[in-house]
Structure 1
Amino acid sequence: MPAEPGQVMLGAYLGLSGHSLAQSLALRRSQLGRDQRIVHQFWGFGETLPRRRPDIGGATLMISWHGVRYADITGGGSDRRIAAAARNLAAQGKPLLLRWGWEMNGDWFAWGGAANGKDPGGYVTVWRRLHRIFREEGADNVAWVWSPNWNSSPDASWNRMQRYYPGDDYVDWVGVSGYDFYRESPSTLFDPVVNTYGDDKPIIITETAGIDFGGDSKARWIDDLSGYVRRTSPIEAVVWFDTDTHNDTNFRIDSTAGALAAYRKMARNARFQG
């Protein structure tokens, strides 16, 4: 389910204080003059994945599904849970994006290589098992998004993102998470993934947001992101982490008037009409 040729699907995770999802979608529609093309949600591995789509209009749903330690899956103990999840997502009857076990090359999640014996191969084994079970359950509407962090932590040879790649037959989209926490440029954040996988797979920026360092810094970074995506043809989707409820950091696109104006300009650019 790629975007239209030459165009980018623009969407968001929406977690706005005091707003339901419906209210958040309506607010952004009024501010941007358009709907989201992707709506991002997070689900725990132990939660029951939804059989019914949320009311997101014509948008594509992207589910980030939490992982677990590899042994909890490779031994077969989670097969029934995985099969039930596959059936539920298949029942939705519409294409969706599934991002399992993201940022696996970081050391902050239970499913990262650092928490699993420094064994990226174990992650590959788990991914392929999930993929097989979904295929057996007929979840053909699910597109698989493999999504490392933009850099690896720890920065060690065993933890290179390429070591976690399940293989082209098991991946539909390659994603990447990257925020300018230390004033990184979009090219610094995203070029490694684009240059490594962009010839073979569509690229989706699965999580990003600009940081407000004062003045017009956030607006300028959004402008830089827009320019970068416009000249980087393998990128076919961008999903903003649009929230003010995460770790006391305001990632909202409307945290300043300038940021909102810059984001609105990006959203209305012809390249972002996928």
Structure 2
Amino acid sequence: MAALAVLAAAGCSSGAGAAPKITTTARAGVAPTPPEKGAYFGAWVPPGIGGGPKAPSPGRTSATPSGGSSAKPAVKDADRPGMAPVVGFERELGRQLDIVQNYAGWKAPFPGDLDSSVLDGNRYLLLTWGGADTREIVQGTHDELIRDRARAIKATGKPVFLRWSRDMDKKSAQAKVHSATDFIAAWKHLRAIFKQEKVDNVAWVWCPSARGFGSGNAGSFYPGDGEVDWICADAQPGGDYDYRDLSEAVKLFMEWARGRAKPIMIAEFGVPRSYGERRAEWLRAAAKTLQDPQIKAVVYFDSDEQAEDARDKRRAFSVTGDKRAVSALRELATTPYFNPRNLPVTSD
């Protein structure tokens, strides 16, 4: 798919070893490619921001997103379908997001309202697309659906990050994923159909759980360098820890990633409400960990939807209403390393 792009990894580091040169099969100027320096900053902001646990998880010109005065968090953006919570979050951060994440089930229509709103602006869309039975995919059962999705993404004419079947390494996914071999075959089948449809505006993001590199065998699900544009991990600290730095959560994943000449995305990171006054401390430490020369995109999970109930603060990650946490996340988001497009930063 498209031309090969190569970037020399550069930037600040939290003491990690030198990153490899970064390669991607994505076509520069058409699909999302890594910034030469620094990392994009994005977020998942669910509908009804701050609305408590179990919130539902849920285009177009050909220009690549770019900086400029129009990139300021704007009132007019809030009028676009699905964008009001995103713009509210951006106001707290004092800057526009580079990446807006959205979730879609396997059979969900695309683009949805939020997808279209993001694609009509100058933010990147990170589409996290649910999986299906891998063996059915390989057998061709879902070819029509896959082809429809490929054509719809191509029709947007905008760069799209596509994160398919995330956390495929978890036991909860085994009934559909079956095995690493089945997953890899299904991944290649999807990519082959997208290639047949000449979809050049997609960057393929492979994303197991960070924990899977310790307690499981997440690396065995890797389809290969020629099949992946970005390597990724979901890296929440975990509800079974009283306190755990992000550096510990991503350590084994980062060690594995050093062997791959690919840009890294941390697609779901967040600090639990259970950390209380230490949330700001956690975020400031995370900012140092994430300033790694191989990390090229970070996406905050600003949601409480994983919490089992209102008392479950270990799985609640929204910073809304926590002034210290908001301030610390703002510091992270407005650090030059996480603003490679030089988007305007506001003081209010």
TM-score clears 0.5: yes
Deviation at 1:99, TM superposition (A): 0.5
Instruction: Give the aligned partner of residue 201 of structure 1.
Output: 262
Structure 2 CA distance for aligned equivalents of residues 55 and 212 of structure 1: 30
- Please tell me whether residue 33 in structure 1 is matched to residue 94 in structure 2: yes
Note if contact 1:82-1:130 (Cα within 8 Å) is conserved in structure 2.
Answer: yes
- Please tell me whether residue 210 in structure 1 is matched to residue 276 in structure 2: no
Percent identity at matched positions? 27
Identify which of 243, 254, 265 aligns with 2:331.
265
- Please tell me whether residue 220 in structure 1 is matched to residue 220 in structure 2: no
- Please tell me whether residue 101 in structure 1 is matched to residue 165 in structure 2: yes
Structure 1 residues 152, 51: CA separation in 2 closer, same or farther (over 3 Å shift)? closer
Counterpart AA for 1:258: R
Q: Deviations over 1:209-257 (max 9, x none)?
A: 1012344221111111101112x11111101111233334431133411
Q: Secondary structure at the match of 1:237?
A: strand
- Please tell me whether residue 184 in structure 1 is matched to residue 241 in structure 2: no
Counterpart AA for 2:319: I
Structure 2 runs not aligned, ≥5 long:
1-31, 52-77, 310-314, 341-348
Structure 1 CA distance for aligned equivalents of residues 45 and 229 of structure 2: 24
Note if contact 1:218-1:259 (Cα within 8 Å) is conserved in structure 2.
Answer: yes
Instruction: Give the aligned partner of residue 13 of structure 1.
Output: 44
Structure 1 residues 32, 65: CA separation in 2 closer, same or farther (over 3 Å shift)? same
Counterpart AA for 1:257: K
Q: Secondary structure at the match of 1:21?
A: coil
Q: Deviations over 1:84-141 (max 9, x none)?
A: 10000000101110000111111123xx3x6554x21110000000000011111110
Instruction: Return the TM-score normalized by structure 1.
Output: 0.90
- Equivalent residue runs for 1:85-100 within 5 Å: 85-100=149-164
Instruction: Give the aligned partner of residue 253 of structure 1.
Output: 319
- Equivalent residue runs for 1:78-89 within 5 Å: 78-89=142-153
Deviation at 1:4, TM superposition (A): 2.4
Structure 1 residues 129, 214: CA separation in 2 closer, same or farther (over 3 Å shift)? closer
Note if contact 1:146-1:175 (Cα within 8 Å) is conserved in structure 2.
Answer: yes
Structure 2 CA distance for aligned equivalents of residues 227 and 263 of structure 1: 12
Instruction: Give the aligned partner of residue 238 of structure 1.
Output: 298
Identify which of 156, 172, 181 aligns with 2:229.
172
Note if contact 1:194-1:235 (Cα within 8 Å) is conserved in structure 2.
Answer: no
- Please tell me whether residue 62 in structure 1 is matched to residue 116 in structure 2: no
Deviation at 1:268, TM superposition (A): 1.2
Note if contact 1:173-1:204 (Cα within 8 Å) is conserved in structure 2.
Answer: yes
Note if contact 1:65-1:101 (Cα within 8 Å) is conserved in structure 2.
Answer: yes
Deviation at 1:191, TM superposition (A): 2.5
Structure 2 CA distance for aligned equivalents of residues 69 and 273 of structure 1: 38
Q: Deviations over 1:122-180 (max 9, x none)?
A: 1000000000001111111010000010122993xxx5111100011110000100111
Note if contact 1:25-1:35 (Cα within 8 Å) is conserved in structure 2.
Answer: no
Q: Secondary structure at the match of 1:243?
A: coil
Q: Secondary structure at the match of 1:233?
A: coil
Select between 12-21 and 171-180 the one with higher mean Cα deviation: 12-21
Question: Considering only aligned residues, what root-mean-square deviation do their CA atoms show, in Å?
Answer: 2.1
Note if contact 1:107-1:115 (Cα within 8 Å) is conserved in structure 2.
Answer: no
Deviation at 1:267, TM superposition (A): 1.0
Note if contact 1:243-1:252 (Cα within 8 Å) is conserved in structure 2.
Answer: yes
Instruction: Give the aligned partner of residue 195 of structure 2.
Output: 135
Q: Deviations over 1:7-54 (max 9, x none)?
A: 110101111156973211221222122101101011111112218842
Instruction: Return the TM-score normalized by structure 2.
Output: 0.72
Counterpart AA for 2:186: V
Identify which of 205, 209, 216 aligns with 1:149.
209
Matched length: 266
Q: Secondary structure at the match of 2:302?
A: strand
Note if contact 1:51-1:92 (Cα within 8 Å) is conserved in structure 2.
Answer: no
Counterpart AA for 1:160: N
Structure 1 residues 102, 116: CA separation in 2 closer, same or farther (over 3 Å shift)? closer
Structure 2 CA distance for aligned equivalents of residues 80 and 115 of structure 1: 19
Q: Deviations over 1:46-66 (max 9, x none)?
A: 112218842232110011110
